[in-house]
A and B are shown apart, each in its own frame.
Chain A
Amino acid sequence: MKFALGAIQYFWPRDVVKNFYQQAAESSVDIVYLGETVCSKRRELKFDDYLEIAHMLREAGKQVCLSTMTLLEAPSELRELRRYCDQGEFIVEANDVGAIAYLQEQKLPFVAGAAINCYNQYTLRQLMSMGMSRWVMPVELSREWLAQLLQQPLVKDVRDCIDVEVFAFGHMPLAWSGRCFTARSENRPKDQCELVCIQYPEGRPVTSQEGQQVFVLNGIQTQSGSRYNLINQLPSMHGLVDVVRLSPQLMGTFEWLEKFRANEHGQAPQTLDKNDSNGYWLALAGLVQQLD
């Protein structure tokens, strides 16, 4: 079982990002995803900065993957996507099928991110024939769904040709909109957002009128209000999951990485926080936290 760090979902200042990846280089993580996946207006780091970090991480022995935008709307965003797909050094995580089109043209292998809609064995095989070498399961799917999918004869034959990755820690990306909810929360139009999301390095919590945290606003992205935490489900992933993804949080990401490693076979289970969830993996509503 390998451990991966997903792309940073929030808008962090340049120094915070650089410091984070310095820590990543020194950590035990196996795979690192890099790049802006949420909003193209966030430009604390540019393409060349990400490449520089990618080289640094590769020299530190990490497998690096460049991650791309999820909701692509403007032609300028497609041009930027092209640069990622054309760089030729690092494998790319496609978060929109537009990226797959570009990578397929060049016959390059790719990682299909969790926002690519792959729900069954036929779609999986189609994506494999286009060059998918790693599949990140959609966040809303369960262990049961994954097991059923992987046991289909169509997949069994080629199971060894791909890695299966599961988003297992952090606030889950659940939706993308044309509207920026962080700007809206400050009464600003999106065109004059002044990149206000940099003030919310963990997003803005949304609670029900009874005080239950339901969502987290992160620009045009809406995340789960709870922190997904499958640390105690790791033993149930063996034989199904090759890569376990942790999504970078402002604090404690690398401590959690070590806790995940320590509990790979169930030797060091953790008590979950009140705001942790594990429902999706257990085929329940996503926000549910079930004790074992």
Chain B
Amino acid sequence: MELLCPAGSMPALKAAIEEGADAVYVGLKDETNARHFAGLNLDDASLRDAVRYVHQHQRKLHVAINTFAHADNFKVWQNAVDIAVRAGADVLILADIAMLAYTAERYPEVEVHLSVQASATNAAAIEFYQQFGVKRVVLPRVLSMNQVRSLVRSTSVDLEVFAFGSLCIMAEGRCYLSSYLTGESPNTAGACSPAKFVRWDERADGSLESRLNNILIDRFAANETAGYPTLCKGRFQVGNDTYHALEEPTSLNTLSLLPELYQEGIASLKIEGRQRSPAYVSQITRVWRQAIDAVMADADRFQVQQEWDLVLANLSEGNQTTLGAYHRKWK
């Protein structure tokens, strides 16, 4: 079972490798990936450095090109594939049918993984994408453990699941909430709830309001920790109640599911967070390396160490974690 860690920069990539990631995934410095944030990601030259560094350590580099190409500048996405292949990336993570078809035809020897942004949640969808030679599918965070288990048994491709990080509660790649409020979505612009639309207003009573494109997402009392206004994690009104109508600010943490994921033959565990700091990547990778080593040594006796939970909780949104959809009750 592979540990696949995120990197938004060379220092983060080095941290992941040093702490024992089997593979690292990165994006290019443009709108071709779903973490298109200012100051993040690698350019052409640093991608080549990244490949060299990762290969020196006998690990693998995956490049995410997982947004949807625009009609008028398709070349940008095509170039991204060309650049990644030429740099020697081990794997391309793709979502757009256009890019899957292009890569299958132009570079049939390159290993392709289906991005979570392609939203393949069932065996028929996986079968659909197999016509493009996809070797692995990254599962959306909407499935329960039972559903993951039944997928493992009904498909011949490798499956990768999200193990830790920000929790997307919608089927990824089919969520337009961000463009509904701001005009920009992960599919069209490579970002959800983009930072340029965020505004913080401090009020006279010490409370803080977070806004996205001027729409009130949440209101925090002076003693509350204020979180980033990701639109699905705001407090809204439904009927007479004001609450987190869609989801609380919380992170996904599947440590306790690790033996099951391992025994079911999940090929890879993905850690979310290319937008995070090298220090974050370092701490997360260290914990997950230890946990995966423990489960691989003896899955039956595996126990989540208290210190792992502590480290992960501190690195989580709102300092809380959830099993998300893997756990039926969450739904």
Contacts and interface: CB of A to CB of B under 8 A. Distances in A.
Interface of A: 70-75, 77-78, 81, 96-102, 104, 115, 117-123, 126-127, 138-141, 145, 148-149, 152, 172, 174-181, 184-185, 189-191, 204-212, 214-215, 217, 222, 224, 279-280, 283-287
A116 to B, nearest CB: 9
20 contacts: A71-B121, A74-B150, A97-B125, A117-B174, A123-B69, A123-B96, A138-B176, A174-B177, A175-B232, A177-B142, A178-B141, A178-B143, A179-B325, A206-B238, A207-B237, A214-B215, A215-B177, A222-B170, A285-B183, A286-B176
B242 interface: yes
Nearest to B74: A120
B70 to A, nearest CB: 6
A178 B169 contact: yes
Contact of A174 (B169, B176, B215, B219): B176
A96 B122 CA distance: 10
Contacts of B74: 120-122
Nearest to B213: A285
Nearest to B99: A122
Most A-side CB within 10 Å, residue of B70, B120, B170, B329: B170
Contacts of B218: 209
Contacts of B188: 119, 140-141
Interface residues of B, number: 69
A100 B125 CA distance: 8
B176 A208 contact: no
Nearest to A180: B331
A208 to B, nearest CB: 4
Nearest to B121: A73
Interface string B255-294: 0000000000000000000000000000000000000000
A285 B331 contact: no
B193 interface: no
Contacts of A217: 238, 245
Given A97-B125, A126-B101, A208 B68 contact: no
A252 to B, nearest CB: 23
Interface in B205-245: 213, 215-219, 232, 234-239, 241-242, 245
Contacts of A75: 123, 150, 154
B197 to A, nearest CB: 9
B124 A140 contact: no
B97 to A, nearest CB: 4
Contact of B144 (A177, A178, A208): A178
A189 B329 contact: yes
B246 A176 contact: no
Given A120-B98, A122-B69, 11 more contacts: A72-B121, A117-B118, A120-B96, A140-B185, A141-B188, A175-B170, A179-B246, A179-B325, A191-B328, A285-B182, A286-B181
Interface string B130-151: 0000000000011110010010
Given A98-B125, A206-B236, A217-B245, A117 B96 contact: yes
A128 to B, nearest CB: 11
B69 A212 contact: no
A222 B178 CA distance: 12
Interface string B306-331: 00000000000000000001001111
Contacts of A204: 238-239
A117 B125 contact: no
Nearest to A286: B180
A286 B70 contact: no
Contacts of A121: 71, 74, 98
A254 to B, nearest CB: 27
A117 B187 contact: yes
B202 interface: no
B49 interface: no
B235 A100 contact: no
Given A140-B187, A207-B236, A179 B169 contact: yes
Q: Across the A-B interface, give the 3 residue pairs with the lowest CB-CB distance, nearest first.
A: A98-B124, A178-B142, A122-B98
A121 B73 CA distance: 11
B97 A126 contact: yes
A148 B72 contact: yes
Nearest to B146: A74
Nearest to A152: B71
Nearest to A222: B177
Contacts of B239: 185, 204
Most B-side CB within 10 Å, residue of A138, A185, A208: A208
Given A127-B97, A176-B171, A98 B219 contact: no
Given A122-B74, A209-B242, A212-B215, A177 B180 contact: no
Contact of A119 (B70, B121, B246): B70
Contacts of A71: 121, 142, 171, 174
B176 A78 contact: no
B215 A208 contact: yes
A280 B143 CA distance: 30
B117 to A, nearest CB: 8
Nearest to A204: B238
A107 B74 CA distance: 29
A117 to B, nearest CB: 6
